[in-house]
Amino acid sequence: MSESLSTDESLSGPVAVPVSGPLSGPEPKARSLAGRAAALDAEDELAGLRDLFTLDDDTVYLDGNSLGALPRHVAGRLQDVISRQWGELRIRSWTEGGWWTAPERIGDRIAPLVGAGQGRIVVGDSTSVNVFKAVVAAVRLAESADPARDEILVDATTFPTDGYIARSAARMTGRRIVPVDPAELSGALGPRTAVALVNHVDFRTGRLHDLPGITAAAHAAGALVVWDLCHSAGALPVGLDEHGVDLAVGCTYKYLNGGPGSPAFLYVAERHQAAFDSPLPGWNAHTDPFAMAQDFAAADGAVRGRVGTPDILSMLALEAALDVWEGVRVEAVRAKSLALTDFFLECVAAYAPAGRVSSMTPAAHAERGSQVALRCAEAPAVMAELISRGVIGDLRRPDVLRFGFTPLYVGFADAERAARVLGEVLAEVPRQPAGEQRDRGV
């Protein structure tokens, strides 16, 4: 039994995936893993969904955690929106075409995918704008209960925008930012904590953070939590209502395949809706928008999370894209995601030259999202060569190779091919001198 995938204990504990059976040389190894991939694809209940997407057989697309693939029918649906709804009905489409109610209607379609009831999600604006709304509104909710709560805890490993927005929200509300490692967040909560802003899945490593546990710890401390679901919505069960989440935001262009720049969503727990005080009270959030009143009166429910006129073309492209989820169980998506990432790690262990890559992604299923991040000193050159050979992942400088596994259209043969090509590329790309690796902290 061989173990060629090196370990990285500093971030996620050791990950070394054994390769099954005695293998001698690359050809028997490839035949064995390719055969297993074919068998796994044949048994996959989600395999047929790949045909719903615009993909080509020459490419392995493992970047759905940045931009999901195009569902085939979206182009035709959007052509109708442009030619008939906009071109013929024109302004009548706000009512006859259902444009005006799209943010709530599409929110209700996303709701089952993240474990939310109807009327709790509204779609519109970017993730950054929704993070701002959620954090400021959460601070205001906390302040109404206890004005002494003057701290906003922020995931210290967060996606940069969340940190930027949180710091601005802190300045605006007179709070101070406290960066905390997510593993230590539960212990950092206290009587001064107003809000914690946490990523459900770490964008670099793919680590899945403990949403139920952190949410419960925050509530026990009298604080609220805002969850960023950008790397979990559409990839795994979230359970927003079940776990008592206060507020959450998420993008729709990754695992939900809504298209580049498609609008994000905002979740407001039912118990907070009456007191939700958005820092961006736009006319679309007014209880009677067309009254054009000078005084703002917030609409009921999550609708008060709306701001301005919806981006209809992107909004309706997203609505069409969500059709691929009809009849799909998120639990089945999660099961396949874990099987895919397990198999990919096993294939990397078999194909990669010893010591060239190490997994930053946790081995434990309970701590893993739907991506694999490999640390590699030569990551920029390796990813460039992978892409030139039809394996599309992405790079997080300086040394992270990131591969997203979207179970609706990625199969086990894709995982095997990607790992095999990675092994070939690593064998060809020269190692960096050890001194340069130390200089970069590798």
Q: How far is CA 119 from CA 106, 255, 321, in A?
A: 10, 22, 20
* Global confidence as pTM: 0.91
Write the secondary structure of 215-272 as one string of H (helix), E (strand) and C (coil): HHHHHHCCCEEEEECCCCCCCCCCCCCCCCCCEEEECCCCCCCCCCCCCCEEEECHHH
- Check residue 356 and give its pLDDT: 97
CB atoms within 10 A of CB 132: 24
- Check residue 434 and give its pLDDT: 63
Segment holding 110, helix H or strand E: helix 102-110
- So where are the chain's domains? 26-46+329-439, 75-325
Integer distance in angstroms from the first to the last C-alpha of the chain?
A: 28
Residue 45 has pLDDT above 60, yes or no: yes
Percentage of the chain lying above the pLDDT 90 cut: 90
CA 210 to chain CA mean position, Å: 15
Categorize the per-residue pLDDT at 439 as very low, low, confident or very high, splitting at 50, 70 and 90: very low
- Check residue 433 and give its pLDDT: 77
Dump pLDDT digits (tens) for 209-218.
Answer: 999 999 999 9
Instruction: Compute the residue count for the chain.
Output: 442
Mean per-residue pLDDT, 77-92: 98
Would you report the helix, strand and coil content of the chain in percent, each value rounded to 5? 45, 15, 40
Dump pLDDT digits (tens) for 102-152.
Answer: 999 999 999 999 999 999 999 999 999 999 999 999 999 999 999 999 999
Burial 41-66 (b: 16+ CB within 10 A, else e): beebebbebbebbebeeeebbbbbbb
Given CATH 3.90.1150.10, say whether it is the number of domain 26-46+329-439: yes
- Check residue 440 and give its pLDDT: 43
CA 100 to chain CA mean position, Å: 27
Catalytic positions: 159, 228, 253-254, 402
Q: What are the tokens at 246? A: 């206060």
Q: Which CATH architecture has domain 75-325?
A: 3-Layer(aba) Sandwich (3.40)
- Check residue 29 and give its pLDDT: 80
Contact 216, 239 (CB under 8 A): no
Strands 193-199 and 151-155 come out as: parallel
Dump pLDDT digits (tens) for 221-253.
Answer: 999 999 999 999 999 999 999 999 999 999 999
Mean residue pLDDT of the chain comes to: 92
Mean per-residue pLDDT, 327-337: 98
Q: What are the tokens at 52? A: 């719903």
Contact 333, 46 (CB under 8 A): yes
- Check residue 250 and give its pLDDT: 98
* Nearest residue to 141 via CA among 132, 129, 149, 131: 149
Phi, psi dihedrals of residue 317, rounded to the nearest 5°? -65, -40
Strands 371-375 and 358-359 come out as: antiparallel
Categorize the per-residue pLDDT at 436 as very low, low, confident or very high, splitting at 50, 70 and 90: low
Categorize the per-residue pLDDT at 26 as very low, low, confident or very high, splitting at 50, 70 and 90: low
- Check residue 432 and give its pLDDT: 83
Categorize the per-residue pLDDT at 188 as very low, low, confident or very high, splitting at 50, 70 and 90: very high
- Check residue 14 and give its pLDDT: 33
Percentage of the chain lying above the pLDDT 70 cut: 92
Mean per-residue pLDDT, 395-400: 96
Say if residue 398 is preceded by a cis peptide, omega within 30 of 0. yes
Contact 339, 40 (CB under 8 A): yes
Mean per-residue pLDDT, 285-294: 95
Q: Which range is least confidently modeled, 333-347, 394-408, 427-441?
A: 427-441
SS3 379: helix
Residue 15 has pLDDT above 50, yes or no: no
- CA quadruple 283, 284, 287, 293: dihedral, nearest 10: 20
Q: Are the folds of 26-46+329-439 and 75-325 the same?
A: no
* Nearest residue to 233 via CA among 312, 340, 322: 322
How many helices (H) does the chain have, and how many strands (E)? Answer: 12, 13
